[in-house]
Each structure stands twice: as C-alpha cells, then as structure tokens.
Homo-oligomer: A and B are copies of this chain.
C-alpha cells in the first residue's frame, strides 16, 4: 500500500490537532510537516523539492502567506503537489481565485470528517473535490455581477479606493501617490460610477467588501 506524504497548514492549533488526530491513525498518510502559516510551507517545498509531497491541506486565513497565495505558489512552482483548502465558507471571489489557480479541492470546516477523508482520497486519485456548499458559493458568484465589478477595478483604482476608505482627502492621496489631484478625482469619479455608489460612504463599504482594509 502506498503511503502519501501530507503537509497541513492552519494557524488554529486546536484545529490542527483535530486534523492530525483524524489522519494520524490512517496508515497510508504520513504527515511530513505542520505549519501555522503559508510561508513555512512554501519554504519547505522550495528547499525540499526532491521530496515528493503529495498533498498540502491548507486554511485560507493565515498570517505571513495566506491559503490563496500559498496555493498559487504551489501550483506555479510545484505543480505535482495537490492542494486541498479546508476553511470557513468564503466569498465567491476567493473560491474563484482558488479554482482559477487550479486548487484541487475545497471543503468547509463545518464538514463531517468523513467528507474530508473522501476529499483527500479523491484528490490523491487525481480528481478534484469540492463540497456542495462551495459549489453553491461559486455558482452564486458566477451569476451575480459582483465579481465582474471586482474584476473591472484596476490595481491603481484599488490603491486609490483603499486610501479613500482610510479617510484621506483627494489632495492627500495625490501627494502619497505622487499624482495630480485631478487624477485622483478621476479615479474617485470612475469608482463611484463603476461600483454604482453615491459617495465616500458607498466607496468605503466596497473597500471593506473587497478586503482592502485591515
């Protein structure tokens, strides 16, 4: 019987313990590493790229390097390593980003442990596994136009939006970004129009929705 090598990343130690206790008396899984952030996992993979890790199980919200970024890194640098996200239910955008980055599966933390085991097995067989609730979120996102809006906001616009939501005035933002006051006014105007809001209050809410603030 083949033994699979696993890495688990989650900053909730108790949850990690739970996962471990579920997996450790399965003889076909060997936990090579546990980490409380994504960076350590990325580092480990970069250094020990000869060791054939089969699967990385990761949370989304983690310090240093979050699950979305970790998945992206893995798929770019170590495409043979499978990835399974086990996390709270996230917004459609997160799920979409993950799938676009070729994640192999997503199971919410409120799933039964049996489902987790099924997901792991399925992924190790080379297939994808997404819980129904994740598929729902994804589809909901596809047919609402929210993420279409989100995608239509450029990097620079997001930068300005963030500063607006941080209560800086147009002039202050211009100074910070070494741009003309007129430019920032244009950005604000476009954002108000694109996001279909009326004023700073609406922009601020969107900035929060987009996760631009801490």
Contacts and interface: CB of A to CB of B under 8 A. Distances in A.
Contact of A199 (B19, B113, B200): B200
Given A14-B86, A109-B12, A113-B14, A167 B208 contact: no
A203 interface: yes
A127 B54 CA distance: 46
Contacts of A113: 13-14, 17
Contacts of A213: 205
Interface string A161-177: 00011110100000000
A199 B199 CA distance: 11
A202 B17 CA distance: 40
A149 interface: no
Contacts of A14: 15, 18-19, 22, 86, 109-113, 116
Contacts of A202: 167
Contacts of A110: 11-14, 36
Counting every copy of the chain, the complex holds 2
Contacts of A13: 109-113
A47 to B, nearest CB: 25
A202 to B, nearest CB: 5
Interface string A86-99: 10100000000000
B12 A17 contact: no
Interface in A11-35: 11-15, 17-19, 21-22
Given A13-B111, A14-B110, A204-B204, 20 more contacts: A12-B88, A12-B110, A13-B110, A14-B22, A14-B86, A14-B111, A14-B116, A15-B18, A17-B22, A17-B112, A21-B21, A165-B201, A165-B205, A167-B199, A169-B198, A199-B200, A201-B201, A201-B204, A204-B205, A205-B213
10 contacts: A11-B110, A14-B18, A17-B113, A18-B21, A21-B21, A167-B198, A167-B199, A169-B198, A169-B199, A201-B203
